[in-house]
Amino acid sequence: MRIRLTIEYDGTPFRGWAAQPGQATVEAALREALAATYASYDRLAVAGRTDTGVHALANVASVDVTGGPPPERAAEALNTRLPDAISIVAGGEADPGFHARHSATARSYRYRLFTRRTPSPFETRRSWWYPRPLDEDRLHAAAALLPGEHDFRAFTPTETQHEVFVREVESAAWTRRDDHLDFEITADSYLRHMVRTLVGTMLDGVELEPLLSGADRAAAGQTAPPWGLYLVAVRYPPTAS
């Protein structure tokens, strides 16, 4: 039986999603919980393989399981075996053809800036403290250039396994929420570090338009730190479940 899990986690204590020998990762913790909950499991897949320190509000995993609790109790059962930094917020049976990664049609990310003049202990590793002056009109204009199909080669490390650098952005915008300034983007898929480098480049004041046709990485700006980034949502076709 295939089940679908919606997962939120604080990425601070983890070396990202993907299991690595000798490292604490979200995948390793989930695999340990699955092994303790079900007679067997196989074909674990995830919608977003987040990097070290990156958070998720609604990452999605699919996995085949045998034995154990019924699918409607999957979240409750797994949460008793997961660390406090990870929570399964929803679980249930999925169609046999559902795949958390390949069935997804879009993913949405949010990057949070904390712009108060003084830092907050409650924002540590939850946002990027950025007390410097910001030209928000310029940031809005830069984000408005992103929707559409572009070559984002400038926004991923030069040493990469990617062979195709074109991605289609559905929406992108900066939103002010009191002391937070959030960059929110939805796209079909992403290159490694793409969102963080877009944020860093915009904050550095580098013009985006000349970079969106396959410019070199050196032409873009800094890569923002991981702790301000959240995977917010994954979208699937109405028939996928």
List, by residue number, the catalytic residues.
51
* Distances 202 to 142, 173, 194 between C-alpha atoms, Å: 7, 12, 12
Tokens of 112: 């949070």
The closest alpha carbon to 232, from 179, 171, 150, 148, belongs to: 171
The closest alpha carbon to 230, from 80, 64, 108, 89, belongs to: 108
User: How far, in Å, CA of 36 to CA of 46, rounded?
Assistant: 19
CA-CA-CA-CA torsion for 74, 75, 77, 79, nearest 10 degrees?
Answer: 150
* Residue at 80: amino acid letter: T
User: How far, in Å, CA of 158 to CA of 2, rounded?
Assistant: 38
Q: What is the DSSP letter of 224?
A: P
Q: What is the DSSP letter of 235?
A: E
The closest alpha carbon to 19, from 1, 46, 37, belongs to: 46
